[in-house]
Structure 1
Amino acid sequence: MIPNPLSFARRIVQFLSFGALNANFIHSAAVSRWCLPVMNCEACMFGWLGCPVGMIRNSLTMHEFPWIPLAIVLGIGILVGRFFCGWICPIGLLQDLLHKIPSRKFPVPRWTTWIKYPVLAGSVFAAAWYIGGDSLWFFCNFCPTAGVQVVLPASIMERDALKLFEQPAKFAATLAMLLGAVALSRPFCKILCPIGALVAITNKIMPWKLHLNGSSCIHCRKCERSCPMDLPVMKHQDSAVSRDAECILCHECKSACPVDAIADRGPGRAAPSTNTP
């Protein structure tokens, strides 16, 4: 089957982004002081940018406000919402690929998407400020991104499987994400990702949006079945689907729509009239 051009373009961008973020071109302190709103472990031997979570930890542990990571993550979010989640994030790509493995698929309960907010508040901000970045309660100590990009490669390169069990919480979280992503679409993004929680609110205010034209919609629900975030797309008739905090701007709903009822709209562009002639 010929892939949809937009979906194919997204996959190419995801692979290129994975390569660019893990090419270790300029691994220096000056570069690692900067970050992007994605999960890409700064401890990875091939990474060259800092991780927003790690940068927040470094500042809060010193009881300093994390200006740089928050300004970057929220600044980009205000412009494009969670676009980086859908197109750039390496862990998002990994989960997308794992979900293609043939198996029975299950939806992630909508209420679980609220879990990542107390994770952000408790295991990132509060843990770093009150207990310290080395606390067992801090997010990095059970982050599956570090498990995939640091622990697993190290155990393979050193041919030492026991390394996987040196950090049991991280190993368990990594295993849960890898296995869970086969049956559940992007479970880490929906349930635990602190960066997703941090940038989710910007979906409400970003100028760019995906608009669902109710008069064109034929209610086939192909948009909902194609959405990796299990969004109730049909509830956004004649409004912006991307205003949903869980929308990652992946455009899979737009690609799946057989009547082009979903369209990109920039600032100042009014939605088309839904009045039929």
Structure 2
Amino acid sequence: MKRLILPLFAVLVLCGFRPMPLPHTPAGPVYLTVIDRDGDGALRAYSDGDQRWIAGEKGHRYSVRLRNASAERVLVVVSVDGLNAITGQVAAPGQTGYVLNPWQTADISGWRKSSEEVAQFVFTTPGRSYAARTGRPDNIGVIGMAVFTEAGAIARDLSPAVERRRSLAGGPAAPAAPPAPAAAESAMADSATRSAAAAPAQRLGTGHGARETSRVRDTAFERASSTPVQQVELRYDSAQNLRARGILPAPTPRPDSAPRAFPSQYVPDPPRDSRLR
């Protein structure tokens, strides 16, 4: 088994990030934050039942920031719009992922094109998303990660990394959940149908943006289990749609722009006419 490792100059940049408030306490070792690279930085996550949402802005580049808050190396399989961010395959937990050292933070800024480059993640319309353009639009609007711990103790590197498995189909599948009673299954289906009918049409997807340098190399990582110790999904859409869903509050009304009889207390001087001498 192999993984990819970022070189030292990239590690120094990653380690230079200033500490920032963590968006939530995960049920596992890794924090996931989405960073708006053309905006104000970390995007706030809003809860809606058992889902978490962020509001993106069309045309803005973003990165997925991963922080390993444990004292052990971990493997993180990153999914964007249902696709593996390294291979472009329909995402599954058993695939290639990024390996983080203890306490390591790394920004995943795009679809990996080679060991030298990525194509930037950028918020765009669903029809222009990478998933739609490659004929796989079913999971547009979600960012996810599956986290694995390491089997045994091996020599530690000083850089974040990407694990590349020789066999993507290796390991037993996770046990299936017990079947739900027919009545409960019918109720869940009715609820899902009502939610789908009430939800506004998705306005954002993730595009295949400009290339940028992101150098990596292979290394080894053995998973302690074939099932992840942590799995996270983060939904995203436009702020307009999040307000329509009731997730974001309505915007503050603008002050009345109608004409007023007394807009000021005193009469100002008129502009000086340059023709008058």
What's the TM-score once normalised by structure 1's chain length? 0.23
Larger radius of gyration: 2
Structure of greater relative contact order (alpha carbons < 8 Å, 6+ residues apart)? 2
Of Structure 1 and Structure 2, which has the larger fraction of its residues in helix? 1
